[in-house]
């Protein structure tokens, strides 16, 4: 056995060990969270952390969760769906055509627009909440669903992804042939370019949905009433009613740790479902634009 072979095997073993540590680091908390939903508050403390609980305890935790504040959790999940889907639709209607136009047309200040898009992408979203709040307050939209949907529908990363795709992966000759056949620019986009861009549209849609669903600070500032909260903001109300985190809470309804764990799982479940159904398009979208025609 040569030294090179021994060194290569040692490197693979070390890489596998490091990878295994990282896998455990991420999977162990997730496993604990899933098992916590099947236990009672006492069982979560005294039993083996990685021992499964009982379905009856899971059902009891489910009942307690959806009975909290007369079914507030159901309202929060519905609000999250409204905000995420509303922002997603506006993002697709505006961002995809914008990326196409920037990629395939030449106009004044085009380069400046691309640079501005990159700058906006680098600005943390939380830094923009205050000016957005002042702007929406001036037009009386605070507390309205549009106060959340409209800011989240501005998705420069999606526009830039679309720009890269149309710049590198759409043959210009194909578009020119469609124009020769009598298609207008709108028909070229909707009948030729857009069907070919299905993977990148799915990728933009997924990223937009995840960003909107997981957004906390913007709806927390824009929506003063609990009835308008999305599930991510609603979790703070559950947290405030959990004695383990807030012993001095005077809430009339007390939430136990397993119930809080179940709420956390429910808050991330829609994103997981969307990912599982869209992963084929996501993989295609991630590799789109990797080669130039």
Q: Where are the domains of the chain?
A: 68-287
Residue 64 vs residues 54, 67, 236: alpha-carbon distances, Å: 16, 5, 16
| In the block, residue with structure tokens 């943390």 | 124
In angstroms, the CA 101 to CA 119 distance is: 19
Whole-angstrom CA distances from 268 to 17, 82, 87, 155, 264 are: 29, 16, 18, 21, 7
The pTM for the full model equals: 0.85
- CA dist 27 and 163 (Å) reads 36
pLDDT at 293: 47
Residue with tokens 């136990």: 256
CB burial of 68-103 (b: ≥16 within 10 Å; e: otherwise) equals bbeebbebbbebbbebbebbbebbbeebbbbbbbbb
Whose CA is closest to 213, among 272, 146, 258, 276? 272
In this predicted structure, what is the pLDDT of residue 106? 83
CATH architecture of the domain with residue range 68-287: Orthogonal Bundle (1.10)
Distances in whole angstroms, Cα of residue 10 to Cα of each of 22, 144, 240: 19, 60, 50
As a whole number of angstroms, the distance between CA 97 and CA 114 comes to 15
Q: How far apart are CA 214 and CA 171, in angstroms?
A: 36
- Residues of the chain under the 50 pLDDT cut: 289-293
Distance CA(112)–CA(8), nearest Å, equals 49
pLDDT at 89: 95
Give residue-wise pLDDT tens across range 111-169: 888 888 888 888 888 888 989 999 999 999 999 999 999 999 988 888 998 998 888 88
Q: Residues 176-188: pLDDT tens digits?
A: 888 888 888 888 8
Token pair of 190 as six digits: 């909707």
């Amino acid at each position: 056995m040569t030294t090179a072979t021994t060194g290569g095997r040692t490197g693979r073993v070390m890489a596998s060990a490091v990878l295994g540590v990282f896998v455990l680091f991420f999977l162990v908390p997730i496993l604990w969270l899933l098992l916590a939903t099947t236990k009672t508050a006492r069982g979560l403390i005294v039993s083996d952390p990685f021992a499964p609980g009982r379905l009856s305890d899971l059902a009891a935790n489910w009942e307690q969760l959806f009975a909290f504040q007369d079914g507030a959790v159901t309202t929060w999940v519905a609000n999250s769906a409204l905000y995420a889907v509303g922002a997603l639709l506006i993002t697709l209607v505006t961002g995809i055509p914008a990326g196409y136009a920037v990629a395939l047309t030449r106009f004044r200040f085009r380069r400046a627009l691309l640079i501005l898009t990159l700058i906006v992408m680098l600005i943390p979203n939380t830094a923009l909440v205050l000016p957005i709040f002042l702007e929406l307050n001036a037009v009386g939209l605070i507390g309205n669903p549009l106060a959340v949907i409209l800011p989240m529908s501005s998705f420069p990363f999606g526009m830039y992804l679309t720009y890269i795709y149309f710049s590198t992966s759409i043959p210009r000759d194909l578009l020119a042939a469609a124009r020769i056949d009598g298609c207008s620019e709108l028909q070229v986009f909707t009948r030729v370019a857009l069907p070919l861009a299905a993977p990148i549209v799915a990728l933009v849609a997924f990223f937009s949905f995840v960003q909107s669903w997981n957004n906390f600070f913007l709806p927390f500032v824009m929506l003063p009433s609990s009835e308008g909260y999305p599930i991510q903001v609603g979790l703070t109300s559950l947290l405030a009613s959990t004695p383990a985190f807030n012993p001095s809470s005077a809430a009339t309804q007390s939430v136990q740790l397993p119930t809080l764990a179940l709420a956390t799982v429910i808050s991330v479940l829609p994103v997981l479902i969307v990912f599982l159904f869209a992963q084929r398009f996501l993989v295609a979208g991630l590799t789109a634009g990797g080669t130039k025609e």
